[in-house]
Amino acid sequence: MDSFIIKGDICWSKSKTELNTVRDGYLICEDGVCAGVFRYLPEKYAMLPMLDYSDKLVLPGMVDLHIHAPQYAFRGLGMDLELLDWLKTYTFPEEAKYAEREYAEKAYSIFVSRMIKSATTRAVIFATVHKDATILLMDKMEASGLISYVGKVNMDRDAPDDLREPGAEASAYDTFGWLNHIFGSYTRTKPILTPRFLPSCSETLLNELHEVQRAYEIPIQSHLSENPGEVELVRRLFPKTAFYAQGYEQFGLFGNSGKTVMAHCVYCTPEETELIRKNGVYVAHCPSSNMNLASGIAPVRKYLDMGIHVGLGSDVAAGESESVFRVIANAVQVSKLYWRMADDSCRPLCFEEAFWLATRGGGEFFGKAGSFDPGYEFDAVVLDDRDLFIYNDLTVEQRVQRDVYLGADIDRICAKFARGTRII
Amino acid sequence: MDSFIIKGDICWSKSKTELNTVRDGYLICEDGVCAGVFRYLPEKYAMLPMLDYSDKLVLPGMVDLHIHAPQYAFRGLGMDLELLDWLKTYTFPEEAKYAEREYAEKAYSIFVSRMIKSATTRAVIFATVHKDATILLMDKMEASGLISYVGKVNMDRDAPDDLREPGAEASAYDTFGWLNHIFGSYTRTKPILTPRFLPSCSETLLNELHEVQRAYEIPIQSHLSENPGEVELVRRLFPKTAFYAQGYEQFGLFGNSGKTVMAHCVYCTPEETELIRKNGVYVAHCPSSNMNLASGIAPVRKYLDMGIHVGLGSDVAAGESESVFRVIANAVQVSKLYWRMADDSCRPLCFEEAFWLATRGGGEFFGKAGSFDPGYEFDAVVLDDRDLFIYNDLTVEQRVQRDVYLGADIDRICAKFARGTRII
């Protein structure tokens, strides 16, 4: 069933700063594409099957532009270190376990089952360096009905022996092998080139990845200017590059070949920021993670004012939860602290803007996603939030705001669709 | 039944920076008081009834040092303004509704039912200016079994007509009436003197409240140095006071007569901070609220280093949720941003410290509360968190950390006790 009607209290972004809401409205899915929202059911859709979610909230599916699937196992733990020590102490040892198929099978099953239960319909995902485990994850994501980009990680230096790939050629070889293996296998799950971050990649590897990118024309994801210690490390490892992003760009890995998303962007220099804009690179803003690893706060207002593409990332497990609702609330909260403590020319984000980032903003990376405007791919979540507004009449917009602030996504979702396919 | 055994996975603070954990341990309640935690059940307790919560997590009840009961109705809404405008636009109109008994009855019923479901066993609560509604709230809190201080608010200026009390004498008169009415009525619910904040109180009113305090010897709660706009307003309204807290202290309302708790303390001057310390005033640190109203971040590390009493406050509805778990996580998170962005001599709070603040730190305001050490009043919550650690073995301490970061209190509580009495 790819054509149907959902009846309920519907909300989506009208613009970056405004929400559209229709109480008791009709949301039409036609062949997996949104045909619009109506106060009264148009005659021409009267024959479609109707899913009656009266009094429930209907939102576009959330888009998570940055999440590490293998780190789900230690979410909410190990929040006592900064990025580089956190990677060595918690992350790398956990990721090394995915060499074993049995562990990957168990852990990724749970990750995918939780992604299904969340409000997220689309995600851009880091796997590990392991080809087989990455394919396993992609198989599971495809079976879930969710829509994703999944990347086998590349790292040939500055990592423990059991996780570091044995040289740039071996890393590239495995990446080709991975891409060949999955070619044509999926309709909802796409590969994305994933150099972990500059410190994990030799120049030889970056050059090899450039070849991979040219051969397969796939998009690219990585991390950029997250933490002062990391930025300093990049300066030492790449003495010839003027700034962090240049290390990617000179190998065609910064929006100058394929579509690119960079997580964090907390400490971008003006030149770097300008390159992000010029090359149309997406910023995955990860406020929860940036608090937990004591990284700081990204100047999202500046990025939006410059017309840079921005979406939100949970960044599990540096972010404690896969709930994009929580990330929306954190995005507003830290923008207020940034305005108060760092730069009072950066007006805080309003709720509507953060909601837009989590839907349309990130959705653009996937094409036409994150909206109920006609022509958008049909991603929707239905929330039963009636217990949260029992004694005062709230508007649909107020309910959205409360649900998001309270993180009332997980456990309240009673239906979910991606590209018109029912997931829950 | 005030004497019993709880079997489960038990965790509480050993010190400010360490947790005690006992897997499969025995926690003994004797006549409402904790008799200790044991790995093996001592012979002398063998005859007590046992509540078997094997595999479940047993923690001290959380202490919320600052929450506004009447604001529960709009939690998670109206996060677009700073303190003074937020009060005028959202808070005062809502609080005015509590003049009507019917509204108060409905709203406070829900507030108390949600407090029951939370991990909180003790709270210091603001009601409204209305005597009758405050008594209603106290009746309901007493019936719940929770332990609380509840204050009828005093405010005779700078508020809308339908909320401002008609003069200092009327305010004091109603406060006497309230205290006389409830005298001897409760065992778990105590009154607390509650001048809203300096801008709402004339000097005459503060003087009257001083008389009330002397007559009834009750503790005091209010707000202090939360927001730059508020601090500036106090400077204009009280030109003769050298700093905000002095406005309370000169009327015996700042730890110099009764036990006092002040919410926020984000912008305390050095003199003010020293007065807090000298007078033994408690600081209710409200990190969620301070983000939402763009107030800033309180320098909690400094307060702890000075030996100042600190606990945590949800500050609903400026704080979006009554979950003290969320406040613990936010306290750690904002302390990292404070270290990064404001003062790198202020080491971030570790998880164990924030947990201590939420239990022992705030518990001290109530006497011996917030711990499972022998002699403490028996407050405990039992969480069924088994769905959160299904595929890796976590230590008890790791489970506590994950549950707190994920805000997995509400909806996971399967038993709760305050002073030995079962609440859930």
Cβ atoms B110, B136 nearer than 8 A:
no
Residues of B with CB under 8 A from a CB of A: 73-77, 79-80, 106-107, 110, 291-297, 320-321, 329, 332-334, 336-337, 339-342, 348, 350-351, 390-392, 394, 398, 401-407, 411
Nearest-Cα distance to chain B for A277, in Å, is 26
| pLDDT value, residue B62 | 98
**Residue contact B405–A329, C-beta within 8 A:** no
Q: Please, which residues bridge with residue B224 across strands?
A: B264
Query: What does each C-alpha distance from B107 to B104, B119, B190 come to in angstroms?
Result: 5, 20, 21
Tell me the pTM: 0.98
Nearest of A136, A127, A119, A124 to residue A72 by alpha carbon: A127
* Three-class SS state of B105: helix
pLDDT at A389: 78
Q: Mean pLDDT by 10-residue block, N- to C-terminus, for chain B (424 residues)? A: 93 98 98 98 97 97 98 94 94 97 96 97 98 98 98 95 95 97 97 98 97 96 98 96 97 96 98 98 98 98 98 98 98 98 98 98 98 98 89 87 94 95 97
Which residues are CB-contacts of A61 (< 8 A; sequence separation ≥ 6)?
A119, A120, A121, A122, A359, A369, A370, A379, A380, A381, A416, A417, A418
Q: What is the pLDDT of residue B410?
A: 84
> Which residue ranges of chain A lie beneath pLDDT 70?
1, 390-392
What is the nearest CA distance from A355 to chain B, expressed in angstroms? 14
pLDDT of residue A1: 62
Q: Residue A344's closest chain B neighbor by CA?
A: B294
Asked whether the beta carbons of B195 and B152 are under 8 A apart, the reply is: no
For A13-55, give the DSSP string: EEETTEEEEEEEEEEEEETTEEEEEESS--GGGTTS-EEEEEE
- Looking at residue B228, its pLDDT comes to 97
Task: Tell me how far the alpha carbon of residue B101 is from its chain's centroid.
Answer: 25
Whether B291 sits inside 8 A of A405 (CB atoms) is no
For residue B77, give the nearest of A75, A336, A401 by CB distance.
Answer: A401
Q: Is the peptide bond before A104 cis (omega within 30 degrees of 0)?
A: no
Q: Residue ranges of the alpha helices (H) in A342-424?
A: 351-356, 362-363, 396-405
**CA–CA distance, A272 with A294 (Å, rounded to integer):** 22
* Interface contact A341-B297, CB threshold 8 A: yes
The residue among B316, B336, B404, B411 with the most chain A CBs within 10 A of its CB, best to mutate, is B336
Taking the C-alpha atoms of residue B64 and residue B146, their distance in angstroms, rounded to an integer, is 12
CB A221 within 8 A of CB A150: no
Among A1, A11, A115, A18, smallest CA distance to A53 is for A11
Query: Which chain B residues are closer than 8 Å to A403 by Cβ?
Result: 76
What pLDDT score was predicted for residue A392? 66
- Print burial letters for B64-94: b (CB count within 10 Å at least 16), e (below 16): bbbbbbbbbbbbbbbbbbbbbebbeebbbeb
Q: How far is A347 from chain B (nearest CA, A)?
A: 11
**Counting Cβ atoms within 10 Å, is residue B382 exposed (0-12), middle (13-18) or buried (19+)?**
buried
- Distance between start and end Cα atoms, chain A: 14
Cα pseudo-dihedral A318, B311, B337, A293, rounded to 10: -20
Helix (H, G, I), strand (E, B) or coil at B52: strand
Q: Domains in chain B, please, with CATH?
A: 4-60+370-422 (2.30.40.10), 62-366 (3.20.20.140)
Beta bridge partners of A59: A381
Distance CA B304, CA B357 (A): 10
Structure tokens given for B97: 């509704």
Largest Cα separation within chain B, whole Å, is: 66
Is residue B171 within 8 Å of residue B205, measured between CB atoms?
A: yes
Chain A closest-CA separation from residue B206 CA (Å) = 32
The answer to whether the CB atoms of A76 and B411 lie below 8 A apart is: no
Say what the pLDDT of residue B393 is.
82
Is B341 in contact with A296 (Cβ distance < 8 A)?
yes
CB hemisphere CA count around A210 (13 angstroms): 16
Half-sphere exposure of B311 (CA within 13 A, CB side): 32
State how far the Cα of A23 lies from the Cα of A17, in Å rounded to an integer. Answer: 20
